Structure 1
Amino acid sequence: MSPDLSVFESHEATEFIEKMLIDNYGVYDVDVHVEPAALPEEEHYASRSLELLAKEEQFLNLENLDKLTDNSFQEILADGKIISASDKLIDFAKITDENSVSKNNDSKNSLTSLSVIPLAINHYSSSQVSKKTFILTYDYWKNEQNFVVTSIWRRNDYWRCIYRQTTLKREEK
């Protein structure tokens, strides 16, 4: 089995196998033991790191926020404001509504209305602090400003962001 399965997923798989053996083959007593597959730690770490980078990009692009944020999520914005998961989702809904209204009312060039805000991630690094917890740090450029982002991702059944902080990066002189 995949070494990244949660306890719940492992139990679900063993219960499925036990039921199949009892129902299809009349086996009386079944005991299924699950061991994680051997996976070199470097491959496992690199795989998780890339998976989380993709999720972080979705987060920055305000995609799938309901799936990416944990219920206990907190974010400290660059201006110092602290927001919760529900605040983040409400803000996302407002932005989505405003964008759809502006696209419907915009009679300008269609290329202008479909333009994408430039966003670039630099200096990405990840640190695994436990089997199911990673800390990500990176710089990103948005609206001609440079930010440093730190986020903590935890996996129960799915990877979700539990904490995030964005800091405006000052230019060194």
Structure 2
Amino acid sequence: AQREHEDDLWNRFRGAQDIFFAARSSVFAERDVEQAENLKLKEALAGEAEKLLPIGDLKGARAAFRSINERWEAIGHVPRDARPRVEGRMQAVERALQDAEESEWRRTNPEARARAEGLTGQLQAAVDKLRGQVEQARIQGNHAKADKLERELEGRQALLDQALNGLREFGG
């Protein structure tokens, strides 16, 4: 452009820039207000979720958390600097639910229960057999053998006690 039109063009450009940046600032201000409101809503939901802890009724807690999470997802974005804190609160409740579900599964897992029952049965048979061998050795007067078998019996009995405790965790 020619020198005489340069100032006019520059002023028109600066005017367009001012309009653009004013509109952009307005949009950002609206977004910031909306995100601040979203943050308040999400903090309230995180508090509601945290009331589920500690988890007693797993099924009820899972359903309640699902409802809270659906409302959470519908809310929208929060300010970037607040996101890790508020999302971390929800994730902590979700992790507690997952831990409770895993614990419940381990407690009720039929395969693990069957293995525990099988192991307990085997250990009980071994303990009973060792008791008989100890008695037989004592009757025969072989105290050294009886003492050795007694030590072995103590070890097997300790394993049996642990297996029985594990089986009790399955409710059996």
* TM tier relative to shorter chain: under 0.3
The normalised TM-score by structure 1 is 0.23
Give the number of the structure whose residues are more often strand, by fraction.
Answer: 1
User: For the pair shown, which has the larger CA radius of gyration, 1 or 2?
Assistant: 2
The normalised TM-score by structure 2 is 0.23
